Amino acid sequence: MEKDYGKYFAPSLKEARKRIKKEIEKIKFSFPEHLRQFGKDKKYLIKTFGCQANEADSEKMAGILHRLGFTEADNESEADLILLNTCAIRETAENRTFGELGRLKGFKMHNPDLLLGVCGCMPQEERVFNLIKEKYPHIDLVFGTHNIHKLGEYLYDAYLNKEKVAEVFSEEGKVVEGIPTKRAHDRKAWVNIMYGCDEFCTYCIVPYTRGRERSRSPEDIISEVRELAELGYQEVTLLGQNVNAYGKDLNIDYTFADLLLELREIAIPRIRFTTSHPHDLDDETIYALAKGGNLMPHLHLPVQSGSNKILKKMNRKYTREEYLEKIRMLRKHVPGISITTDIIVAFPGETDEDFKETLSLVREADFEGAFTFIFSPREGTPAAKYPDDLDPGVKKERLLALNKLVNEGYLRGNKRFEGKTVKVLVDGPSQKNPHLLSGYTEHNKLVNFPGDKNLIGKIVDVKVEKAYTWHLRGIISKSHS
């Protein structure tokens, strides 16, 4: 008979919505001695869905697992532990995960000792949590975004006490420092600068799944970046749902622009960040970017819609005109900057006129890329209750029309580099053609070029010969080490 969950703590969206302005608790990760090495001879696999925040969390979970003595499995069949780090942003993301959960049941039949866990943003939703408990009895371990640092204890309970564990906290969240990290790359690294989100865009589940906006201290961030520089890392990407709000929750006079200026002094070739919110993007940040150096000339600035009526219903706190003014400022102070965005089509109440305003904004802003989505209602968010009577065919048509325009922007953005020499951080063999190397330019353009594998991890000069919609093709002109 299936064991019931021994340890059990369920989420609540109502609790998750609360914001009590008390001081954020900062805790230092510590590793209970009795857990050391109990994962010896065991192999793990983490499958990550969702955004960079999840990728960074997966690296922390991997770090904890290695401390426990686990090693990484090459495939699912040799794994003793499979963790799905999930994303709740849209229904399609969730459906993919449910498909995986069903499929992994088969592995459990072949290997009854296999431990299956679900973590990340999906279990933070009551509906999903209950569904997993009721319909997926083969899942042994469920936890959320607030308690990855307790992974070792959960595994101990699951393996040694042979009980199922389901513990999801709906809380504002803490800042946990010192979690061991096993990074996926040895030249590019994620660095969390803040967690959570207080924006409450009406369509978005993230403020519920990730808790209150809370910043790490500048000292902790700077020392992590310094350490990465010393280890030979070439690029860090600073992570937060709304990096421009960095520092607002700290009791010190210190902003995101201050952080950028301090990081600019560190000997690491490239600093990027994601994601910016137009409402909080201030002039100081633009002036910091204008200083260049290791601050890369690319900004991802999600606009979501070009219609003021829809922006208001989304609770984005800026108008189309204000957004375009920020773009104008950016282009004035950071000449040649590449600007990309996120756009949602078919938000409830979006008329043809509203949609046309989105298209015209895309033209005016001259984006060089965009992630585009059809609105997906998320239970518990205000927009899920807005009347939505648009025909699914119309929603798809709008997405296609938008993508066509966006793709022209991708091509235009690439074309401007034809004939130029660009600096490329070499990631590895190209995914499409293993005989070529590939990497990204300072403006975040993908470049493929022939070259020796010993260039991987280095920044090299590449002469761009031809621009396509999704990539540039070039030849090496000279390499740096």
Q: Binding to ligand F3S by residue 51, rule CB under 6 A? A: yes
Judged by beta carbon, residue 203 or residue 273, the one nearer ligand SAH is 203
344 binds, among ligand F3S, ligand SAH, ligand SF4, none (CB under 5 to 8 A by kind): ligand SAH
Please give the residues from 190 up to 249 whose contact with ligand SF4 meets the rule CB under 6 A.
Answer: 197, 199-201, 204, 206-207, 241-242
Query: Which of these ranges, 45-53, 253-261, 344-352, 365-373, lies near ligand F3S under the rule CB under 6 A?
Result: 45-53
Judged by beta carbon, residue 381 or residue 441, the one nearer ligand F3S is 381
118 binds, among ligand SAH, ligand SF4, ligand F3S, none (CB under 5 to 8 A by kind): none
376 binds, among ligand SF4, ligand SAH, ligand F3S, none (CB under 5 to 8 A by kind): ligand SAH
90 binds, among ligand SF4, ligand SAH, ligand F3S, none (CB under 5 to 8 A by kind): ligand SAH
Query: Which of these ranges, 114-122, 133-141, 370-378, 460-468, lies near ligand SAH under the rule CB under 6 A?
Result: 370-378
228 binds, among ligand SAH, ligand F3S, ligand SF4, none (CB under 5 to 8 A by kind): none
Query: Which of these ranges, 83-91, 253-261, 325-333, 364-372, lies near ligand F3S under the rule CB under 6 A?
Result: 83-91
378 binds, among ligand SAH, ligand SF4, ligand F3S, none (CB under 5 to 8 A by kind): ligand SAH
Q: How many residues bind ligand F3S (CB under 6 A)?
A: 13
Q: Binding to ligand SAH by residue 202, rule CB under 6 A? A: no
Virtual torsion, Cα 337, 342, 346, 348, nearest 10 deg: -110
Please give the residues from 94 up to 133 whose contact with ligand F3S meets the rule CB under 6 A.
Answer: 120-121
Among 45, 65, 89, 257, binds ligand F3S (CB under 6 A): 89
Query: Which of these ranges, 101-109, 120-128, 369-377, 456-464, lies near ligand SAH under the rule CB under 6 A?
Result: 369-377
209 binds, among ligand F3S, ligand SF4, ligand SAH, none (CB under 5 to 8 A by kind): ligand F3S
DSSP readout, 159-214? Answer: HTS--EEEE---SS--EEE------S-SSEEEEE-EE------TT--HHHHH-S-E
Among 76, 342, 364, 379, binds ligand SAH (CB under 6 A): 342
Smallest distance, Å, CB 207 to ligand F3S? 10
Q: Are strands 459-467 and 421-429 parallel, antiparallel or unpaired?
A: antiparallel
Among 54, 304, 338, 430, binds ligand F3S (CB under 6 A): 54
Q: In which residue are the tokens 């101990």 written?
A: 156
Amino acid at 321: E
Smallest distance, Å, CB 275 to ligand SF4? 7
Amino acid at 294: N
| DSSP symbol at 23 | P
Q: Binding to ligand SAH by residue 375, rule CB under 6 A? A: yes
207 binds, among ligand F3S, ligand SF4, ligand SAH, none (CB under 5 to 8 A by kind): ligand SF4
DSSP H/E element including 226: helix 218-230
Please give the residues from 226 up to 285 whose contact with ligand SAH meets the rule CB under 6 A.
Answer: 241-242, 275, 277
Q: Which residues bind ligand SAH (CB under 6 A)?
A: 89-90, 203-204, 206, 241-242, 275, 277, 302, 304, 342, 344, 373, 375-376, 378
Q: Which residues bind ligand SF4 (CB under 6 A)?
A: 197, 199-201, 204, 206-207, 241-242, 277
